[in-house]
């Protein structure tokens, strides 16, 4: 699986399936279940380290977990979050940090933010580092935002998100994560872009879905946009396969 395969899925209107993962054992299971993509997310700050936010995750920590995942993910497309403070200073330092993650097994790096990242994205992509952009709720900016909420419900936010998404694509982003974005806004963004969109809590009108692995296992956050697939399954493998099929069939999310 590579980025061209994901783009082809968008063109064929086949849903992209993605989950977070942080270790080799689960990575092997996800690979056997034929998941399209793994996100080695800075969500590990909360679900692995037990912290209240993602902000404490260091480059070395996410690199360690990335190496664990990539050891057993030969066919699954691997995306890694660039931790807070590793891409905000300047494009040159961002490239240096991103190159270390690519060397550790990533096939794409993910950056949270809007128009202020356009120069950095262009700098990275023209030098061979694929970028996934991230709009809507930005967990790394939680202290500025104040709390988790939906974005794109007002016309002003909707217009800004649509315009920013187009700018991110034009700068070189090849994938876009939409987190907690109003469903109608996600739909319009998805229709406007040539690159795939993957949603989390952003409705069904996107090109794919991503959730935190532990949430589908029923041992994570009890959030309105997640679902405990394990409660309806006889094993972890069946749980993951049921999630994959629900996304592909369009039965998850329901709206």
Which residues are known to be catalytic?
179
How many Å apart are CA 220 and CA 174, to the nearest integer?
A: 29
Helices 91-103 and 59-70 pack at an angle, to 10 degrees, of 30
How many Å apart are CA 83 and CA 76, to the nearest integer?
A: 22
How many Å apart are CA 61 and CA 222, to the nearest integer?
A: 26
**Tokens read off for 32:** 């056997």
For residues 132 and 110, the answer to whether their CB atoms sit within 8 Å is: yes
């Amino acid at each position: 699986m590579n980025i061209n395969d994901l783009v082809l899925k968008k063109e064929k209107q086949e849903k992209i399936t993605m989950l977070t993962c942080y270790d080799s054992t689960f990575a092997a299971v996800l690979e056997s279940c034929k998941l399209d993509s793994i996100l080695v997310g800075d969500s590990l700050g909360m679900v692995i380290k037990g912290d209240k936010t993602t902000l404490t995750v260091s480059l070395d920590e996410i690199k360690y977990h990335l190496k664990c995942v990539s050891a057993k993910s030969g066919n699954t497309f691997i995306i890694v979050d660039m931790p807070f403070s590793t891409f905000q200073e300047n494009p040159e330092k961002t490239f240096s940090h991103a190159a270390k993650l690519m060397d550790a097994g990533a096939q794409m790096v993910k950056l949270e933010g809007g128009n202020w990242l356009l120069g950095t994205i262009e700098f990275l992509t023209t030098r061979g580092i694929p970028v996934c952009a991230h709009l809507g709720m930005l967990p790394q900016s939680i202290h500025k935002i104040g709390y988790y909420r939906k974005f794109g419900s007002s016309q002003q936010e909707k217009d800004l998100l649509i315009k920013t998404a187009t700018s991110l694509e034009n700068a070189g982003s090849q994938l876009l994560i939409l987190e907690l974005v109003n469903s109608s806004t996600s739909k319009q963004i998805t229709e406007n872009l040539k690159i795939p969109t993957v949603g989390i809590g952003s409705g069904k009108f996107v090109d794919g879905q991503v959730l935190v692995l532990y949430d589908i296992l029923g041992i994570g956050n009890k959030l309105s946009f997640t679902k405990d697939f394990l409660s309806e399954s006889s094993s972890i493998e069946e749980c993951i396969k049921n999630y994959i099929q629900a996304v592909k069939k369009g039965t998850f999310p329901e709206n």
